[in-house]
Amino acid sequence: MTANKALLSAHGEELFSRAQEKGVDLHFEGAVCGGIPIIRTLREALASDRVEAIAGIVNGTTNLILSAMAEQGRSYADALREAQEKGFAEADPTLDVTGADAAQKLQLLASLAFGARLRATDISTAGITGIEPVDFQMAREFGYALKLLAVARRGTEDLQVRVAPAFVPLKSPLAQVGGAFNAVMLRSAAMGDSLLYGQGAGGCPPPAPWSAT
């Protein structure tokens, strides 16, 4: 069992082959999207279905930064600093803010959903460092939210994969994902659209005030 997405991204094929040789399973649920059971869903629940597309917010740190910029009008530098002070961003946030972390996660998701053999460096990747408060103003004016999305979908000839900031329609569930939360939308032939949502970056979330009524 491992939660090391960088290890899997670089040496996953070798590790899975060794596991198969030994007749054991290699579990890595914690490597993508914190506690969201996205790996199990792709490996088990949708194993007999045909996944057509994946679109998700898979990096809680960048989503927290973008949420602060959108909701509080903060600059990128201020929002990043606050995320670091609260322990949601590393002292060196490069992997998160450049989109590299999201690309590693998308590589793993695409390998499960589509049987794709690709490296994280094969994925077109753009981060959030160039985003400014005016970008959120423009997004709201036209009915969109601005999110860092990891997307993989079947094309007419090949698999289309990318990580980049994107304008998301406000009516989309992904537009409502705030703070350090993650969410992944799946589209499959039999199931249609489904959404997995939960805590991403940071420690354990506080207990939710669930009500039986």
For 93-97, 167-171, 188-192, which range has the lowest pLDDT when averaged over its residues?
Answer: 188-192
Does the annotation count 86 as an active-site position?
no
Q: What is the DSSP letter of 83?
A: H
- Cα angle 154, 155, 161; round to 5: 65
Alpha-carbon gap, residue 106 to 151, rounded angstroms: 7
pLDDT digits (tens, 9 = 90+) for 155-179: 877 899 999 999 999 999 999 999 9
Q: Say if residue 102's pLDDT is above 70.
A: yes
The whole-number pLDDT of residue 211 equals 46
* Per-residue pLDDT at 143: 97
Distance from the first to the final alpha carbon of the chain = 39
Percent of the chain whose pLDDT exceeds 90: 63
Question: For residue 66, which of 55, 53, 54, 78 has the smallest C-alpha distance?
Answer: 78
pLDDT in tens, 116-141: 888 889 999 999 999 999 999 999 99
Q: Which of 5, 22, 86, 105 is catalytic?
A: 105
φ, ψ dihedrals at 96, nearest 5°: -75, -55
Judged by average pLDDT, the poorest of 11-25, 74-88, 89-103, 106-120 is: 11-25
Q: In whole angstroms, how far apart are CA 130 and each of 66, 76, 102? A: 12, 8, 17
pLDDT at 156: 74
Check pLDDT > 80 for residue 6. no
**CB contact burial 161-199 (16+ within 10 A = b; e otherwise):** bbbbbbbbeeeeebbebbbbbbbbbbbbeeeeeeebbbb
Q: With 80 as the cut, is the pLDDT of residue 199 above it?
A: yes
Residue 31 has pLDDT above 60, yes or no: no
Domains, the chain, in order of start with CATH, read 5-199 (3.30.360.10)
For the entire predicted model, the pTM comes to: 0.82
Decide: helix, strand or coil at residue 132. coil
